[in-house]
């Protein structure tokens, strides 16, 4: 798992805030922002985008979509901020599987409080233990 300086973490926190400002969350009124760093060193931002039928796009899904569209394929690390003050906002169950799909070995999943305190840094195994992933299928197909 990567370690970052306070300066680098502050930059990721500010990216999360920038992304969160774009949130379209009229139903939950719970904006979320996210930035991921891909394995090529490119950053991709995402916010949650809700719809009236409640099958909404999470911030992590938006950021992953941006990564894919930009030609990236693996997430080195991902950073998330919600709207829970100093309480933890960790990726939802769907996003844990989404992140797992594109996770680089050694990925860190970082959760900031609204004020910028790094509340948790998860490994993939901590966030989604015993997970099912792409290699489960590729082994059967090769
Ligand atoms: Zn989610």
Fold type of domain 6-141: Cytidine Deaminase; domain 2 (3.40.140)
CA of 71 to the centre of ligand 1 (A): 22
pLDDT in tens, 7-62: 999 999 999 999 999 999 999 999 999 999 999 999 999 999 999 998 899 999 99
- Catalytic-residue membership of 114: no
Candidates 8, 50, 60, 86; catalytic one: 60
| Mean pLDDT calculated for residue range 127-136 | 93
Give the Å distance between the CA of 48 and the centre of ligand 1.
8
Q: What pLDDT sits at residue 101?
A: 97
What is the reported pLDDT for 2?
72
Rounded to the nearest angstrom, the distance between the alpha carbon of 113 and the centre of ligand 1 is 17
Q: From ligand 1's centre to the CA of 117, what distance in Å? A: 21
pTM of the full structure: 0.94
58-112 pLDDT, tens digit each? 999 999 999 999 999 999 999 999 999 999 999 999 999 999 999 999 999 999 9
Radius of gyration of the chain (CA): 15
Q: In sequence order, which residues have a C-beta less than 8 Å from that of residue 137 and are 6 or more positions away?
A: none
pLDDT value at position 23? Answer: 98
List C-alpha distances in Å: 74 to 40, 44, 77: 8, 12, 9
Give the domain ranges of the chain: 6-141
Helix-strand-coil percent breakdown of the chain, rounded to 5?
35, 25, 40
Between the CA of 142 and the centroid of ligand 1 the distance, in Å, is: 31
């Amino acid at each position: 798992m990567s370690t970052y300086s306070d300066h680098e973490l502050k930059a990721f926190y500010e990216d999360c805030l920038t992304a969160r400002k774009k949130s379209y969350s009229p139903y939950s009124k719970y904006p979320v922002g996210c930035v991921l760093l891909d394995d090529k060193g490119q950053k991709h931002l995402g916010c949650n985008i809700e719809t009236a039928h409640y099958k909404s796009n999470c911030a992590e899904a938006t950021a992953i979509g941006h990564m894919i569209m930009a030609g990236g394929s693996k997430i080195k690390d991902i950073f998330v901020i919600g709207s829970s003050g100093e309480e933890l906002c960790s990726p939802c169950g769907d996003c844990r599987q989404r992140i797992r799909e594109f996770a680089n070995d050694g990925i860190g999943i970082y959760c900031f409080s609204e004020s910028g305190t790094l509340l948790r840094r998860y490994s993939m195994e901590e966030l989604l233990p015993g997970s099912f992933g792409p290699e489960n299928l590729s082994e059967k197909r090769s």
